[in-house]
């Protein structure tokens, strides 16, 4: 079974002390990447937030990715960007990013994932696998989609959507290289550091 790593996505609204929360979460255990997700925020707000958070992530040798905006990711020193199916074509994003990391949301479709891979995506994301409060997915993903991809394709896959320490085992067992989480870490009753540790324990136990 390949090692599965944690991929953090920032909460929909960043609290005033989020920089401290982020640092605590990243110091709590192995995290592969952090994706900054600021839906509908003006460019200047996005850029200021990147300037504040990117050093915290990168100084720990963790990838800092921006959601939706390859252009701002390239401009601001991010390590890459993640796009959805309605943002732009993967080939266009790859052209903007050059050799930076590109991730693409593929919902429950191996066809979309293959198209993304052909266009140069570094990883594909399947989901949502479980009910999530972060955003409403167009469809729920099936674990079999993840399993078939992991067994037959070399491009890494990320599982996303409502993932918690309690429900993640089938996704790890199916071959997900990364688990993308929001609420399981940022809304953890004992704080983000405890959320990261709980997820890592669950991954290891899977």
Cβ count within 10 A of residue 101: 18
Joined tokens for residue 27: 């110091």
Rounded to an integer, what distance in angstroms lies between the CA atom of residue 151 and that of residue 19?
A: 38
Q: Which position has the token pair 């990320």?
A: 158
* Beta strands at 33-36 and 80-83: parallel, antiparallel or unpaired: unpaired
Q: How far apart are CA 55 and CA 158, in angstroms?
A: 24
SS3 145: helix
pLDDT at position 132, please? 80
Distance CA 34, CA 63 (A): 6
Residues 157-195 as b/e (b if ≥16 CB within 10 A, e otherwise) read bbbbbbbbbeebeebbebbbbbbbbbbbbbebeeebbeb
Q: Strand pairing partners for 159?
A: 126, 179
pLDDT at 1: 42
76, 98 contact by CB (below 8 A): no
- The radius of gyration of the chain from alpha carbons, rounded to an integer in Å, stands at 16
Rounded Cα gap, residues 32 and 4, in angstroms: 10
State the Cα–Cα distance between residues 64 and 165, nearest whole angstrom. Answer: 23
- The packing angle between helices 43-58 and 18-26, to 10°, is 30
Q: What is the pLDDT of residue 131?
A: 87
Question: How does pLDDT run along the chain (206 residues), one tens digit per residue?
Answer: 448 999 999 999 999 999 999 999 999 999 999 999 999 999 999 999 999 999 999 999 999 999 999 999 999 999 999 999 998 999 999 999 999 999 999 999 999 999 999 999 999 999 999 988 777 777 799 999 999 999 999 999 999 999 999 999 999 999 999 999 999 999 999 999 999 999 999 999 99
Element (H, E) at 124: strand 123-127
- Inter-residue long-range contacts of 93-102, CB under 8 Å, 24+ positions, other chains counted: 94/119, 94/120, 94/121, 96/70, 96/71, 97/70, 97/73, 98/74, 100/73, 100/74, 101/63, 101/65, 102/70
The structure's pTM equals 0.97
């Amino acid at each position: 079974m390949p090692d599965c790593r944690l991929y953090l996505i920032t909460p929909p609204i960043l609290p005033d002390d989020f920089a401290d929360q982020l640092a605590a979460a990243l110091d709590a255990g192995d995290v592969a990447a952090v994706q900054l997700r600021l839906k509908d925020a003006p460019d200047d707000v996005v850029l200021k937030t990147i300037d504040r958070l990117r050093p915290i992530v990168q100084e720990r040798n963790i990838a800092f990715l921006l959601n939706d905006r390859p252009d701002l990711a390239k401009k601001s020193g991010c390590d890459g960007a993640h796009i959805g199916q309605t943002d732009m074509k993967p080939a266009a994003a790859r052209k903007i990013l050059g050799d930076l990391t590109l991730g693409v949301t593929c919902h429950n479709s191996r066809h979309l994932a293959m198209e993304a891979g052909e266009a140069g995506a570094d990883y594909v994301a399947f989901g949502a696998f479980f009910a999530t409060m972060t955003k409403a997915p167009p469809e729920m993903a099936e674990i079999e989609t993840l399993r078939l991809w992991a067994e037959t394709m070399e491009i890494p896959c990320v599982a996303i959507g409502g993932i918690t320490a309690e429900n993640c085992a089938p996704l790890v067992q199916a071959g997900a290289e990364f688990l993308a989480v929001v609420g399981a870490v940022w809304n953890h009753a004992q704080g983000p550091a405890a959320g990261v540790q709980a997820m890592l324990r669950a991954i290891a136990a899977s």
